[in-house]
Structure 1
Amino acid sequence: MMAGNILLVDDDEAIRTVVAHALRRAGHQVRTAGSVAELDREVRNGLPDVLLTDVVLPDGDGIDIAARFATEAPDLPIIVLSARNTLTTAVRANEAGAYDYLPKPFDLETLTRTVAAALKRRGKAAPTTTEDEDQNLPLIGRSPAMQEVYRVIARVLSNDLTVLVSGESGTGKELVARAIHDLGQRRAGPFVAINMAAIPRELIEAELFGHERGAFTGAAQRTAGRFEQAAGGTLFLDEIGDMPIEAQTRLLRVLQSGEFTTVGGARSIRADVRIVAATNRDLLQTVANGQFREDLYYRLNVVPILLPALRERRGDIAMLARHFLDRAAEAGLPRKTLDDEAVQVLEHYDWPGNVRQLENLMRRLAALSRDDRISAGEVALMLGDGGAPAAAPADIAIDAAVRGYVERLARLEPAALDDGTLYDRLLAEVERPLIEAMLARHGGNQLRAARAIGLNRNTLRKRLDTLGIDPSSRPSERELR
Structure 2
Amino acid sequence: MSGGNILVVDDDDAVRAIVAQALRRAGHRVRTAANLAELDREMRAALPDVLVTDVVLPDGDGIENATRIVSEQPGLPIIVLSARNTLTTAVRANEAGAYDYLPKPFDLDTLTRAVAAALLRRAPATPNVPGDDDHALPLIGRSPAMQDVYRVIARVVSNDLTVLVSGESGTGKELVARAIHDLGHRATAPFVAINMAAIPRELIEAELFGHERGAFTGAAQRTAGRFEQAAGGTLFLDEIGDMPIEAQTRLLRVLQSGEFTTVGGARTIRADVRIVAATNRDLQSAVASGQFREDLYYRLNVVPITLPALRERRQDIAMLARHFLDRAAAAGLPRKTLDDDAIDTLEAHDWPGNVRELENLMRRLAALSRDDRINAAEIAVMLGDGGAGAADPDIAIDAAVRGYVDRLARNDPQSLDNGTLYDRIVAEVERPLIESMLARHGGNQLRAARAIGLNRNTLRKRLDLLGIDPVARPSAREPR
Q: Which residue of 1 aligns with 2:127?
A: 128
Counterpart mapping for 1:336-347 below 5 A = 336-347=336-347
Q: Which runs of 5+ in 1 are unaligned?
A: 410-417, 434-462, 470-481
User: 2:43 matched to 1:43?
Assistant: yes
Q: Which runs of 5+ in 2 are unaligned?
A: 409-419, 436-449, 457-480
User: Does the CA contact (< 8 Å) of 1:2 and 1:120 recur in 2?
Assistant: no
User: Does the CA contact (< 8 Å) of 1:99 and 1:126 recur in 2?
Assistant: no
Q: 1:162 to 1:423 in 2, by over 3 A?
A: closer
Q: Write the distance in 2 (CA, Å) between the matches of 1:170 and 1:278.
A: 12
Q: Which residue of 1 aligns with 2:155?
A: 155
Q: Deviations over 1:58-110 (max 9, x none)?
A: 11111012101110000000000000001111111111111111000011111
Query: Shift in Å at residue 383 of structure 1?
Result: 0.5
Secondary structure in 1 matching 2:32: strand
User: Does the CA contact (< 8 Å) of 2:35 and 2:59 recur in 1?
Assistant: yes
Letter in 1 for 2:389: A
Q: Which residue of 1 aligns with 2:454?
A: 467
Q: Write the distance in 2 (CA, Å) between the matches of 1:423 and 1:39.
A: 65
Q: Write the distance in 2 (CA, Å) between the matches of 1:465 and 1:207.
A: 59
Q: Which residue of 2 aligns with 1:77?
A: 77
- TM-score norm. by structure 2 comes to 0.85
Secondary structure in 2 matching 1:467: coil
Q: Deviations over 1:27-84 (max 9, x none)?
A: 1111110000111111111100000000000111110121011100000000000000
User: Does the CA contact (< 8 Å) of 1:97 and 1:129 recur in 2?
Assistant: no
Q: Which residue of 2 aligns with 1:55?
A: 55
Letter in 1 for 2:257: S
User: Does the CA contact (< 8 Å) of 1:55 and 1:80 recur in 2?
Assistant: yes
Q: Deviations over 1:353-398 (max 9, x none)?
A: 0000000000000000011111111010100114223479x7x655
Q: CA RMSD in A?
A: 2.5
Letter in 2 for 1:359: E
User: Does the CA contact (< 8 Å) of 2:191 and 2:233 recur in 1?
Assistant: yes
Q: Write the distance in 1 (CA, Å) between the matches of 2:37 and 2:401.
A: 59
Q: Deviations over 1:234-277 (max 9, x none)?
A: 00000000000000000000110110111111111100000000
Q: Write the distance in 2 (CA, Å) between the matches of 1:425 and 1:328.
A: 34
Letter in 1 for 2:131: D
Letter in 2 for 1:306: T
Q: Which residue of 2 aligns with 1:476?
A: none
User: Does the CA contact (< 8 Å) of 2:81 and 2:104 recur in 1?
Assistant: yes
Query: Shift in Å at residue 283 of structure 1?
Result: 0.5
User: 2:4 matched to 1:4?
Assistant: yes
Secondary structure in 1 matching 2:42: helix
Letter in 2 for 1:351: W
Query: Shift in Å at residue 403 of structure 1?
Result: 4.3
Q: Write the distance in 2 (CA, Å) between the matches of 1:431 and 1:228.
A: 60
Letter in 1 for 2:454: L
Query: Shift in Å at residue 196 of structure 1?
Result: 0.1
Q: Write the distance in 1 (CA, Å) between the matches of 2:309 and 2:452.
A: 47
Q: 1:408 to 1:289 in 2, by over 3 A?
A: farther
Greater Cα offset, 134-143 or 344-353: 134-143
Aligned length in residues: 428
Q: Write the distance in 1 (CA, Å) between the matches of 2:14 and 2:146.
A: 26
Q: 1:408 to 1:61 in 2, by over 3 A?
A: closer
Q: 1:466 to 1:291 in 2, by over 3 A?
A: closer
Q: Which residue of 2 aligns with 1:472?
A: none
User: Does the CA contact (< 8 Å) of 1:2 and 1:119 recur in 2?
Assistant: no
Counterpart mapping for 1:383-398 below 5 A = 383-386=383-386, 387-390=388-391, 397-398=396-397
Q: Write the distance in 2 (CA, Å) between the matches of 1:6 and 1:264.
A: 63
User: Does the CA contact (< 8 Å) of 1:350 and 1:390 recur in 2?
Assistant: no
Q: Write the distance in 2 (CA, Å) between the matches of 1:83 and 1:27.
A: 27
Letter in 1 for 2:354: N
Q: Deviations over 1:118-160 (max 9, x none)?
A: 11113x3242222222431210010000001110111011100
Q: Write the distance in 1 (CA, Å) between the matches of 2:309 and 2:160.
A: 27
Letter in 2 for 1:131: P
Q: Write the distance in 1 (CA, Å) between the matches of 2:455 and 2:153.
A: 62
Q: Which residue of 1 aligns with 2:102?
A: 102
Greater Cα offset, 2-11 or 195-204: 2-11
Letter in 2 for 1:77: P
Query: Shift in Å at residue 429 of structure 1?
Result: 6.8
User: Does the CA contact (< 8 Å) of 1:349 and 1:391 recur in 2?
Assistant: no
User: Does the CA contact (< 8 Å) of 2:238 and 2:277 recur in 1?
Assistant: yes
User: Does the CA contact (< 8 Å) of 2:214 and 2:220 recur in 1?
Assistant: yes
Q: Write the distance in 1 (CA, Å) between the matches of 2:407 and 2:132.
A: 45
Q: 1:148 to 1:465 in 2, by over 3 A?
A: closer
Greater Cα offset, 347-356 or 212-221: 212-221
User: Does the CA contact (< 8 Å) of 2:381 and 2:396 recur in 1?
Assistant: no
Letter in 1 for 2:132: E
Letter in 2 for 1:87: L
Q: Which residue of 2 aligns with 1:199?
A: 199
Q: 1:17 to 1:406 in 2, by over 3 A?
A: closer
Letter in 2 for 1:361: L
Q: Write the distance in 2 (CA, Å) between the matches of 1:333 and 1:423.
A: 30
Q: Write the distance in 2 (CA, Å) between the matches of 1:284 and 1:323.
A: 35
Greater Cα offset, 132-141 or 202-211: 132-141
User: 2:229 matched to 1:242?
Assistant: no
User: 2:141 matched to 1:141?
Assistant: yes
Q: Deviations over 1:161-207 (max 9, x none)?
A: 00000000000000010011111010010000000000000000000
Secondary structure in 2 matching 1:21: helix
Q: Write the distance in 2 (CA, Å) between the matches of 1:99 and 1:17.
A: 22
Q: Which residue of 2 aligns with 1:441?
A: none
Q: Deviations over 1:208-229 (max 9, x none)?
A: 0001111111111111000000
User: Does the CA contact (< 8 Å) of 2:71 and 2:125 recur in 1?
Assistant: no
Query: Shift in Å at residue 405 of structure 1?
Result: 7.5
Q: Which residue of 1 aligns with 2:92?
A: 92
Q: Which residue of 1 aligns with 2:217?
A: 217
Q: Write the distance in 2 (CA, Å) between the matches of 1:375 and 1:423.
A: 17
Counterpart mapping for 1:271-420 below 5 A = 271-386=271-386, 387-390=388-391, 397-403=396-402
Q: 1:355 to 1:46 in 2, by over 3 A?
A: same
Q: 1:12 to 1:61 in 2, by over 3 A?
A: same
